[in-house]
Amino acid sequence: MVFNTGAALLDAIVLAVVSRKKEGTYGYKITQEVRQAIAISESTLYPVLRRLQKDGCLDVYDMEFRGRNRRYYKITDQGAAQLELYQTEWKNYVSRISDVLSGNYPIKEEGGR
């Protein structure tokens, strides 16, 4: 993709992916689902997950899977509210950019003329 992915967009994508499963989901699965939208490595994803946890958007718990602990991430109420804000902002952003790219955006002349 030729467009850079900023931290807020990455947070929004991760929160959207995690929110799909009420019981939460684990890191590798999150990586695979996020990769359907953008190219991302696990080394990029895990700091995002830690930051979202620190910010109160995700809860983390461990569960045994085939004799090993697997870390699960679950969206919090605060995370759901943040995701809703991201979704609203994204819709507005996409609409404005689409208008500009399609030539439907009104051009304001300098000096109020």
Write the DSSP string, 30-41: HHHHHTTTS---
Q: What is the pTM of this model?
A: 0.84
pLDDT digits (tens, 9 = 90+) for 45-81: 999 999 999 999 999 999 888 889 999 999 999 999 9
Could you tell me the CA-to-CA distances from 2 to 7, 31, 32, 38, 101 in Å, in that order? 16, 20, 20, 11, 15
Residue 87 tokens read as: 């979704």
pLDDT digits (tens, 9 = 90+) for 5-53: 788 999 999 999 999 999 999 999 999 999 998 888 888 899 999 999 9
